[in-house]
Chains A and B, each alone.
Chain A
Amino acid sequence: MSSPAEASPPLSVVVAIMVSDTAELPGILEAVGRQVYEPRRVVAVGGADASRAAVADLSFAGSPVGWMPSLEALIKSVDVSASHVWVIHDVARPKPDALQALVEEGGRADAGIAGSKLLRLHEPGQLISVGIATDVFEVPFVGLDVDEMDQGQYDVVRDVAAVGGASLLIRRDLMTGIGGADRSMGRQAAAVDLCQRARLRGARVVVVPSSEVLYPEGSGIDAPWKEEAGRIRAALKVYGPLTLAWVIPLLLLLGLLEAVVAPFLGRWALFSWARAWGWNLLYLPGTLRERRAARRGRVVGDEELFRYQIRGSVRLRELADMIGERVRRRFPEDARLGFAELGRDFQQPVVIVGLVVAAIVALGTRVIWSTGLPTAGYTMALPDSGAATLRAYAGGWNPAGLGSPEPLRPIVGLASLVQLTVLDHPGLAASLLTVLGLAFGIWGTARLLRGWGISTIAGVVGGLVLVAGPATRAISGKGEWSTLLAIGVLPWALRAAVRPWLAPWPARAGRLASLAAIIGIMAAASPVLLLVPLALLAVWVLVGDLRAWPAAAAAVPATVLAAGLLFPWIGAVDVGALLEAGPPAYWEPGVVLFAATLLAGIAVLAAAPRPVALVSAWGLIAVAGGGLVARLGEFGPGREIETLGQAIAAIGTAAVVGAGFEAVVRTTGRGGWRRGAAWFGGLAAALVALSTLLIVAPGRAGLPADELTPALGFAVDESGVSRVLLVGPADTLPGDVRQLDGATYRVTSTPAPVLSEAWMGRPLLGDEALDSALRRIIEGETTRAGEALAEFGIRWVVVTGDSPFEEVFAGQLDMLPLGGLRRPTFVSEAPNAYRAITATGMVWVPELPVYVGPAETGGRVRIAENANGRWGPAPWEQDDWANVVSAGAGEASVGAWTDHARQAAGSGTLLLVLLTVAWWGRRRR
């Protein structure tokens, strides 16, 4: 409802009908013909020859309707007696007083451009827009709620950043000056651009709500990439250099972020983003010409443009809203209610429990957010370059120890993929992975248990126990970061299998693909867990629900497919050695919490209703079975098997605790021994759940404290040109270790090892040479250990704990003790302790998998990595165990292993196929 116009100013208006569909022309001409304010002339603009032919037979107020190929041509043809041009889309249907209101109110406001209020064509009571605000990135923001009714709430003439191109009145002289709309842009972006350029010349842009135009919603917007390209071009045209300096990079990043997040919301934005930027790159010269034209004669600066812009990013708001909506939809009804009416229902238990759990996760990971992953056990910071690490994973060089061509662990490739999606920020990627691992673990457990009849609250508590309970703390306490991530995925793998298998075959195929992808991702984080979902599902069929046999059956092909995702690592791994690696498996869980878990499980099993009792039985078997597996060390299994058993026990503990809480709820109101037993089980479960708070104080998600990074602080400024030999007990050394007469040691890069160094390959020539050198040192054949270790690029020796090596290195003539450090440290006096050095003594810097340094024509550089003929540039020579290559290019690198590269590409393709089929099947569900 708008107030009627009062008087007709003596102005002359030319109507420019923007033609997109010639079939709409009669309708728009009729609407224009009904206008109270009579236009002087009507011209159809654009639409090429079809439009031209269509208007040939049309007339308006007795005069033939003209045609012009573009607004620019129209402007040139309009004589000075015309004061304004009313630009209106052919699909728009202006109300009879629309033009009059624009002319009168626009003139009263002395506006250069006046726009109409747009209402839905088929629901005229609902608003489409009443003027447009933008953010600094030119993204339009109408500020209306979905389906917002027009109740006159916005009916005031006001300045706006822009008006829609569906109906706008523009002064002819202004249009002549700024050159009309930019035809290369999407229509929405072009309208914003037109208004911005007008404002740059000092013209006011107002919305006249009394000018009402009915419009089909969604019209006037071109393909997403075109609109995005137009927005970029608009920004490039109008902003000053200072604004552009920060707007353009942010625009780039925002688009990339959207491209990354959008697939999780069911749409693709990457290609639009890439196409938009590519288009702008292609048309940059034209944009620069337009920029000169737009900014020439400007009377205001960027501050004026900012005036009607909203703060922040419209796109980010939309993404957040969509994510929020998704999350709400994922929660069960009771939880969704809590989200939807958070203010009113804040005290709902599920919300409180959710907040407490979120707080525990946030506090329990705060150190990782602030300082990154500790270097302890198999937890290490991610490498600086995600792309380089991904190349190393796909057939490149394994940098652990003295290097090896053996494939890296899948977690390295997985982490580097995540790192690339966060703009190659290793710290952010590691933090995200950790937090997501915990959050997904909790969420997944809640959903898994809910499918088995356990309420959300009990499930969330069970999830907390999964990621921070006693078994998981035993895993994370050893620094098994990647297994921590795998545990976060494990309940999703189980849930994907046990959900009902729908009849349509596309849906089944999608589920199978989804299950395979989830198991594959879990196994990428911890390969020994590959068979765990299958085993646990088999147990569930046995003790929980015989009808769930399709879940276990589906897990078989899914596991096989998932194994395919582990190439190239799985193709080269020595399974026997893998399972026996490390100290013998013998987990000794804390007696109190282990007993509490067992008692809780037994009490619930006895007292709870059948569905809950069976969940408890399943959990009990997992706890007991996992504990059994984790203690098989006497028969050969080592660290990996212990971790496997602990992971199984972790999911079992989560189920027992979830069932324990549920049992209390289910027996409330009942009497007798069952209630008492359920309460007893609940209390025992609560004790286990309370123990999860133990991760809060340290704030490292249960991971060990970082003793090593501070101990290696002395090497921070050394650019990694030398290595460090770490000696000490195995549990104080990072990642894999080697042994010499029972004493453990390992070689790492400086200033601290990264994740790609965690797992070493089989010993090669260099490793054997190092072993021999150390043997010579400990047997006293040399007292110049520094000299003996220099050929391996080892400059420092750090004693990480009690080790017989300490005494050995203290008795060396060329190993200087460094005082004031956290751990006993010796530095070599040998002059050539570098990883790469030329014959002339120039030191090259490792930027793995490449070494770089000053080029020496005809020179040679020795690369202290295990000898391999793929090192180059040619000619390559083997220097004992190391490599000597040409120094002529100033760079030495190792060529890719074609087989490994193909396998990695195959795995990546398989993952994409699985995800695509999963998505497709979900759509067909």
Chain B
Amino acid sequence: MRRVLGLALAVVLVAVAVLLPEPAPPTEIVFPPITAPPAEAAPRDSVWFCGYGQSDGELTELLSLASLEPVTATLTLPSPFAGEEPDVAERGVDGPAAVVVDVGGIVRRGQSPSFVEFDGGPATASVVVTGPDRLSGDLCVGSSSKVWHLAGGTTREGTTLTLRLFNPFPEAAKVTVSGESDFGAVPLPEFTSYDVPGRSWRNLDLETVVPLLDDLAVTITTEAGAVFPSFIVSNGADEASWPGTALSTTWEFPVTALEGLEGAIVIANPGDLPVDVAVDAFTASGALPDVTAVRVEPGTPVRLRVAEFVSEIVGVRLRATGPVTAVVVAEGLAPALPEDDTDADPATAGPLAGTGGAAAPALRWLLAGAGSVPGVGTDLWLLNTSAEEITVTVRALDVAAVPDKLTLPPGSVRRYPVGSAVAGGYLVDAVQPITAAWSASGPQGAMFAAGVAVGE
């Protein structure tokens, strides 16, 4: 009897044990990306990474530090020599204000990627390099990504294209660079699992690796660590640089051209399916919706010359059916060469400018560096893609500055000239979301710079 009882109990217990449901397995834990580009200037500590920068005997690098709150900014300029301590400097920004730092006052050693740490905010930074034949620069990047996209490059004759990979972190990074051109995918085997040492940078001279391509876009995939890539394009007369971007289905470009510069929007589709892109143009007087449309095949960037669909200087909005990357690149028109000067380089055509777009409009924009460059004309560009008239307040980030109020008609772009070396940056406040950027031009060249939206 006891044997039966024992066996029965055991059988029942085993059966129940076998039938017990298995707890749900733990889900794979993935932290959100540190911040998804584009970064906002938020009211907290922040770091801005400036991959572009050069300071030497001829070139002056200006780092503009703009903040809406009193903050301390720590500038760190890593040394190109392994193991050597970086140069570090601190500057107070008694926000709302902008401070322009001449990097040459800290160190002059040629290429000078850097990063700026703010102990509060909202704050941001931008870099401008000026010299006898140089006016270039762009915003610094306040976000990190495992995958970066850069469009608008070219290795056609007379231009040099450098991909700078800046790794500000102590840990070495490993990246793979893939390319696409108007001929399709561009193999770049030498840049597969490419090492970028910690607190250093690497310059990849793409015109020597893949020469004579009119359009070249690259994708940088990070396998370990993190990098901040920039394109640096030079045509002999000027240089332009813009940082990597994320993908978006909408891009807004408040500035696409200047007098004497012909602008083009370059769109790249790193996805697997074709993407249809509709282009809206915005003039000072109103919107020109759907001025053109284009299908962007995967792996084949498309260059849209703005002049081909509208004759005036306009702002542009792209609406895509899939995520794409896009930049605006503007080149100076080639001057007429003297007929007897057969040795002259036809490529030294004129100024060169470029920048990324804004994926979304915002209520507040910080335009660090606008108005900081002496001897050049600076314009703010304000784009209202909505159907409403929007009131905008423009204020130089200077203690004594008086805010200026203006209105943006529905679907319009507004060019707002500012003086030369009048401030380290501007703050733009709007009652409805807009997009803002700035440009500068002078005898030494031209540049575009995107604004940084101010977040909550």
Where the two chains meet, the residues of A that have a C-beta atom closer than 8 Å to any C-beta of B are 542-544, 583-584, 586, 598, 601-602, 605-606, 610, 613-614, 616-618, 620-621, 623-625, 627-628, 631-634, 741-743, 778-784, 803-805, 807-808, 810-817, 826, 829
- Chain B residue nearest to A584 (CB atoms) is B23
- Chain B residue nearest to A780 (CB atoms) is B34
Chain B 152-176, CB-CB to A under 8 Å as 1, else 0, gives 0000000000000000111110000
CB <8 Å contact, A742 and B169: no
CB <8 Å contact, B31 and A817: no
**B102-120: which have CB < 8 Å to A?**
115, 117
Contacts of A808 in B (CB 8 A): 31, 34
Q: Cα distance A804–B33 when bound, in Å?
A: 10
6 closest A-B pairs by CB = A617-B6, A624-B13, A780-B34, A584-B23, A628-B17, A620-B10
A602-B47 contact given A780-B34, A811-B225, A813-B170, CB 8 Å threshold: no
Partner of B169, one of A586, A606, A620, A813: A813
Contacts of A814 in B (CB 8 A): 170
Contacts of A614 in B (CB 8 A): 2-3, 6
CB <8 Å contact, B35 and A605: no
Contacts of B224 in A (CB 8 A): 810
Q: Is B26 an interface residue, CB under 8 A from the partner?
A: yes
Chain B 212-253, CB-CB to A under 8 Å as 1, else 0, gives 000000000000111000000000000000000000000000
A783-B47 contact given A586-B23, A810-B171, CB 8 Å threshold: yes
Where the two chains meet, the residues of B that have a C-beta atom closer than 8 Å to any C-beta of A are 2-3, 5-7, 9-14, 16-17, 20-23, 26-27, 29-35, 44-45, 47, 76, 115, 117, 143-144, 168-172, 198, 224-226
Can you give 30 A-B contacts (C-beta < 8 A)?
A542-B5, A543-B2, A543-B9, A544-B2, A584-B23, A586-B20, A605-B3, A605-B6, A621-B6, A623-B10, A624-B17, A625-B13, A627-B13, A627-B17, A631-B20, A634-B20, A634-B21, A742-B27, A743-B29, A783-B117, A810-B224, A810-B225, A811-B144, A811-B225, A811-B226, A812-B170, A813-B115, A813-B169, A814-B170, A826-B171
CB <8 Å contact, B170 and A632: no
Partner of B44, one of A598, A602, A616, A781: A781
- Chain B residue nearest to A589 (CB atoms) is B17
Contacts of B21 in A (CB 8 A): 634
Contacts of A631 in B (CB 8 A): 17, 20
Q: Cα distance A633–B21 when bound, in Å?
A: 9
Q: Cα distance A784–B76 when bound, in Å?
A: 13
CB <8 Å contact, A815 and B3: no
- Chain B residue nearest to A604 (CB atoms) is B3
Query: Which of B17, B115, B224 is packed against the most chain A CB atoms within 10 Å?
Result: B17
Query: Which secondary structure characterizes the binding site on chain A?
Result: helix
A804-B10 contact given A634-B21, A817-B198, CB 8 Å threshold: no
Contacts of B144 in A (CB 8 A): 780, 811
Query: Which of A544, A620, A743, A810 is packed against the most chain B CB atoms within 10 Å?
Result: A810
Contacts of B172 in A (CB 8 A): 817
- Chain B residue nearest to A543 (CB atoms) is B6
Contacts of A741 in B (CB 8 A): 29, 31
Contacts of B198 in A (CB 8 A): 816-817
Q: Cα distance A634–B31 when bound, in Å?
A: 26
Q: Cα distance A624–B47 when bound, in Å?
A: 59
Q: Cα distance A865–B31 when bound, in Å?
A: 28
Query: Which of A605, A624, A803 is packed against the most chain B CB atoms within 10 Å?
Result: A624
Partner of B7, one of A586, A617, A627, A784: A617
Query: Which of B9, B31, B35, B169 is packed against the most chain A CB atoms within 10 Å?
Result: B31
CB <8 Å contact, B32 and A779: yes
What distance in Å separates the Cβ of B316 from its nearest Cβ neighbour in chain A?
Answer: 31
- Chain A residue nearest to B42 (CB atoms) is A781
Contacts of B34 in A (CB 8 A): 778-780, 783, 808, 811
Q: A598-B10, A815-B171 are in contact. List 19 more A-B contacts (CB 8 A).
A: A543-B9, A584-B23, A614-B3, A614-B6, A617-B6, A617-B10, A620-B7, A624-B11, A628-B13, A628-B16, A633-B23, A741-B31, A778-B31, A782-B45, A804-B30, A813-B170, A815-B170, A816-B170, A816-B171
CB <8 Å contact, A810 and B7: no
What distance in Å separates the Cβ of B34 from its nearest Cβ neighbour in chain A?
Answer: 3
CB <8 Å contact, B16 and A811: no
Q: Cα distance A720–B171 when bound, in Å?
A: 25
What distance in Å separates the Cβ of B164 from its nearest Cβ neighbour in chain A?
Answer: 19
Contacts of B11 in A (CB 8 A): 624
- Chain A residue nearest to B23 (CB atoms) is A584
CB <8 Å contact, B117 and A784: yes
- Chain A residue nearest to B226 (CB atoms) is A811
A807-B17 contact given A602-B7, A816-B170, CB 8 Å threshold: no
A742-B29 contact given A784-B117, A812-B169, A813-B169, CB 8 Å threshold: yes
CB <8 Å contact, A742 and B225: no
Q: Cα distance A817–B226 when bound, in Å?
A: 13
Contacts of A782 in B (CB 8 A): 45
CB <8 Å contact, B31 and A811: no
Q: Cα distance A741–B26 when bound, in Å?
A: 12
Q: Cα distance A77–B11 when bound, in Å?
A: 94
CB <8 Å contact, B14 and A627: yes
- Chain B residue nearest to A638 (CB atoms) is B23
Q: Cα distance A805–B30 when bound, in Å?
A: 9
Contacts of A783 in B (CB 8 A): 34, 47, 117
Q: Cα distance A584–B27 when bound, in Å?
A: 14
Contacts of A816 in B (CB 8 A): 170-171, 198
CB <8 Å contact, B7 and A634: no
Contacts of A586 in B (CB 8 A): 20, 22-23
What distance in Å separates the Cβ of A471 from its nearest Cβ neighbour in chain B?
Answer: 13
CB <8 Å contact, A543 and B45: no
Q: Cα distance A915–B136 when bound, in Å?
A: 87
- Chain A residue nearest to B198 (CB atoms) is A817
Q: Cα distance A811–B9 when bound, in Å?
A: 58
Q: Cα distance A606–B11 when bound, in Å?
A: 14
- Chain B residue nearest to A602 (CB atoms) is B7
- Chain B residue nearest to A806 (CB atoms) is B224
Contacts of A807 in B (CB 8 A): 31
CB <8 Å contact, A617 and B23: no
Contacts of A633 in B (CB 8 A): 22-23
Q: Cα distance A617–B45 when bound, in Å?
A: 68
Contacts of B12 in A (CB 8 A): 624
CB <8 Å contact, B29 and A804: yes
Q: Cα distance A583–B11 when bound, in Å?
A: 27
Partner of A810, one of B29, B47, B169: B169
Contacts of B47 in A (CB 8 A): 783, 813
What distance in Å separates the Cβ of A728 from its nearest Cβ neighbour in chain B?
Answer: 11
Partner of A621, one of B10, B23, B44: B10
What distance in Å separates the Cβ of B49 from its nearest Cβ neighbour in chain A?
Answer: 10
CB <8 Å contact, B2 and A617: yes
A618-B6 contact given A631-B20, A782-B45, A811-B34, CB 8 Å threshold: yes
Q: Cα distance A816–B198 when bound, in Å?
A: 9
Contacts of A625 in B (CB 8 A): 13
What distance in Å separates the Cβ of B85 from its nearest Cβ neighbour in chain A?
Answer: 11
Contacts of B6 in A (CB 8 A): 543, 605, 614, 616-618, 620-621
- Chain B residue nearest to A598 (CB atoms) is B14
CB <8 Å contact, A810 and B226: yes
What distance in Å separates the Cβ of A684 from its nearest Cβ neighbour in chain B?
Answer: 15
A742-B170 contact given A624-B13, A811-B144, CB 8 Å threshold: no
What distance in Å separates the Cβ of A306 from its nearest Cβ neighbour in chain B?
Answer: 64
CB <8 Å contact, B168 and A601: no
Q: Cα distance A631–B19 when bound, in Å?
A: 10
Partner of B10, one of A624, A743, A813: A624
Q: Cα distance A37–B46 when bound, in Å?
A: 111
Contacts of A618 in B (CB 8 A): 6
Contacts of A804 in B (CB 8 A): 29-31
CB <8 Å contact, B23 and A781: no
- Chain A residue nearest to B27 (CB atoms) is A742
Q: Cα distance A190–B168 when bound, in Å?
A: 82
Query: Which of B2, B10, B27 is packed against the most chain A CB atoms within 10 Å?
Result: B10
